[in-house]
Amino acid sequence: MTLPIRNVAIIAHVDHGKTTLVDALLKQSGTFREGEEVPDCVMDSNDLERERGITILSKNTAVHYKDTLINIVDTPGHADFGGEVERVLGMVDGCILIVDANEGPMPQTRFVLKKALEKGLRPIVVVNKIDRPQADPYGAIDKVLDLFLELGADDDQCEFPYLFASGLAGYAKKDLEAESVDMQPLFEEILDHVPPPVGDPAKPLQLQVTTLDYSDYLGRIVIGRIHNGEIRMGQQAALVKEDGSIVKSKVTKLLGFEGLKRVDMESASAGHIVAIAGFADANIGETITDPNEPQALPLIKVDEPTLQMTFWVNDSPFAGQEGNFVTSRQLRDRLFRELETNVALRVEETDSPDKYLVSGRGELHLGILIETMRREGYEFQVSQPQVIYREVNGQPCEPFELLVLDVPEEAVGGCIERLGQRKGEMQDMRVGGNGRSQLEFTIPARGLIGFRGEFMRLTRGDGIMNHSFLDYRPILGEVETRRNGVLIAFEEGTATFYAMKNAEDRGVFFITPGTKVYKGMIVGEHNRPQDLELNVCKTKQLTNHRASSGEELVQLQAPVDMSLERALEYIGPDELLEVTPASIRLRKMAKKLAKR
């Protein structure tokens, strides 16, 4: 007799505690042996996820509670990785919506909840971080109900069960005043409110591919849920491709999930989430089915990208010095390989063999791809991100975002003024009792390009900014994005303290003395709107006379640290970002320099 199954996804806004809550569920279900060392955020297995404290890729785990196997899928909270959320919601029968007790629902909460409600899921709401100061658990529940109503939830979905929890402390409870020491109340809610999987083991096999993985030993591994039928190790099966063609193959490995491990299985039936090897050509959304009665499931629909940028082969004077993969063929192969697992990404070839148009869900989505590639040893350059326009009902439209700012009260006026210039419209403003205000705007996506750096200056680094895709609306007029000119290196060489000190009154630098520069490289921001070329490699003329001021200790002002995200937002339409495993450099396009 097979175990009863529950398939549940955990959804939330970024940083509301999904992965920490999964940690608590894993620890209390007996997944880890006593004394085993377990890292925090154990589901964030990727280096970038650990560094940034965000979930980028959805991941599966499974725990046993009483006599039930609970498959848990941890999903990303950023709307930029919405492709991950959309495809895994088809694997589950219920979801846990986590909301911060202090912040309440945020832009990405709206995004992931909307996707869950569209799938007909009935969420269990968990108000997390109730042990924090300034937490307002009941206020958060009221805001969640308002959001459910706003998103058109039906009566059954609005009667959602809710719990109060602290993922970090490892407890959950139904009543705020009750005592609780563990996650048992949440496990009980999952058993009570998440329906068992619907599917008939007697029907022909249907398994939809929702995630792809790769093993050096097994090749491509497909992960998905069995909707109908039964699958056995070693059996013949058919893969129904996106175009309707059928490819027959053999199941060379059948794996189930047990905690964080994959375990060998002989067979699995409808309702199980499994990993299968043997289908080298499988792609996301396709169906593995019975070869005698091939029946495809509907393909997974993913929202279209809203932002695009051009990836170029690096042609700067320093090209090929720091990267292992520098040719157009290597760049092309890597970008098209990314398409196999990144469902929300699009890659198009252009007239030039050295340029590729890459479209994604947002700056973070594309930024993570760029960072991953540079860590793998790729060297290339990218252009300024551009929004993707579409025609809706015969009218040209552009993507709009929902923007939520949490700012100190003294910065409210400045933020409203700047967003007004960028065509942002304020929808709501809430003044908190802690000297901070929450502002809500709708704004064209192009109005947000380059805004984060300005926002940090307006709030002196004390503001929090979140945004997610809203919809396509008619194109608004010109968006005013004010940025000063840049300081451009005049010649190739090594930047010197002497030259930079003399030019310090011209603006702020992005480099330090000793940095190698080339003609056309952007080394700083000018104080004025125009670009300025200057010589940062000039050296002091040496004489045998000591200058009277020679003994004084002179220092340069601190340079602006250009991280990858900051540089992507900063570059202008006639500029490029050169990305190598060792460096990030801003530069002017060669043709623009030639015109000077």
Q: Using DSSP, state whether 503 is helix, strand or coil.
A: coil
Q: Are residues 467 and 500 in the same domain?
A: no
Q: Is residue 303 part of a domain?
A: no
Closest to 57 in 3D by CA, of 359, 365, 331: 365
Q: Is there a single domain that holds both residue 185 and residue 230? A: no
20 in a known ligand binding site:
yes
Structural domain ending residue among the three candidates 448, 474, 500 = 474
Which of the listed residues 141, 164, 193 is the one where a domain comes to its end? 193
Helix or strand or coil: residue 534? strand
Percent of the chain whose predicted confidence (pLDDT) is above 70 = 86
Q: Are 10 and 96 in contact (CB under 8 A)?
A: yes
Domain that holds residue 46: 5-193
Confidence bin at 35 (pLDDT 50/70/90): very low
Say whether 466 counts as a known binding-site residue: no
* Domain-located, residue 580: no
In this structure, are residues 74 and 61 in contact, taking their beta carbons and an 8 Å threshold? yes
What average pLDDT does the segment 83-106 reach? 79
Report the pLDDT averaged over residues 238-250.
87
In this structure, the answer to whether residues 111 and 245 fall within a common structural domain is no
15 is in an annotated binding site: yes
pLDDT for 31 beyond 70: no
Q: Are residues 150 and 250 in the same domain?
A: no
Give the model confidence (pLDDT) of 514-563 as tens digits.
999 999 999 999 988 899 999 999 887 766 555 544 444 567 788 888 88
Q: Which CATH number fits the domain that encloses residue 216?
A: 2.40.30.10
What confidence category does residue 380 fall into, taking pLDDT thresholds of 50, 70 and 90? very high
Is 131 annotated for ligand binding? yes
Q: What is the pLDDT of residue 282?
A: 82
Split into its structural domains, the chain has a count of: 4
In a domain, 278, yes or no: yes
Are 225 and 277 in a shared domain? yes
pLDDT, position 74: 74
pLDDT of 331 above 90: yes
Annotation-wise, does 259 bind a ligand? no
Query: What's the pLDDT tens digit per position in 40-64?
Result: 443 334 444 344 444 334 457 788 8
In a domain, 376, yes or no: no
**Nearest alpha carbon to residue 201 among 255, 291, 267:** 267
Domain boundary at 432, 453, 474, which? 474
Same domain, 139 and 254: no
- Segment 128-149 shows an average pLDDT of 86
Residues 451 and 495 in one domain: no
Co-location of 43 and 165 in the same domain: yes
Is 102 one of the annotated binding-site residues? Answer: no
Residue 343 has pLDDT above 80, yes or no: no
Cβ pair 496, 513 in contact under 8 A: yes
Is residue 271 a known part of a binding site? no
Range with the lowest mean pLDDT among 411-415, 443-447, 478-482, 484-488?
478-482
Q: Identify the band that residue 591 occupies on the pLDDT scale cut at 50, 70 and 90.
A: low
Q: Indicate if the pLDDT at residue 302 is higher than 80.
A: no
CATH number at residue 456: 3.30.70.240
pLDDT tens digits for range 200-216: 888 888 898 887 777 77
Identify whether 302 is part of a domain.
no
> Is residue 69 located within the same domain as residue 159?
yes
Residue type, 335: L
**Which of 192 and 592 is assigned the larger pLDDT?**
192
- State yes or no: 136 annotated in a binding site: no
pLDDT for position 509: 92
Q: Give the global pTM.
A: 0.70
**Of 494 and 298, more confident:** 494
In a domain? residue 361: no
Backbone angles phi, psi at 143, to 5 degrees: -65, -35
Percent of the chain with pLDDT over 90: 18
First to last CA, the chain: 78
Q: What is the pLDDT of residue 15?
A: 64
382 within some domain: no
Q: DSSP character for 463?
A: -
- Give the pLDDT confidence score for residue 373 in this predicted structure: 92
Residue 179's pLDDT band, with cuts at 50, 70 and 90, is confident
pLDDT recorded at residue 2: 60
Classify residue 518: in a domain, yes or no: yes
Q: Give the pLDDT band of residue 102 (cuts 50, 70, 90).
A: confident
SS3 string of 177-210?
A: CCCCCCCHHHHHHHHHHCCCCCCCCCCCCEEEEE
- Alpha-carbon distance 107 to 122, whole Å? 20
272 known member of a binding site: no
- 3-state class (DSSP) for residue 141: helix
Same domain, 149 and 59: yes
Clarify whether residues 468 and 497 are in a common domain: no
Is 167 assigned to a binding site? no
* pLDDT reading at 596 higher than 50: no
Q: What was the pLDDT predicted at 49?
A: 39
Note whether 501 and 563 are same-domain residues.
yes
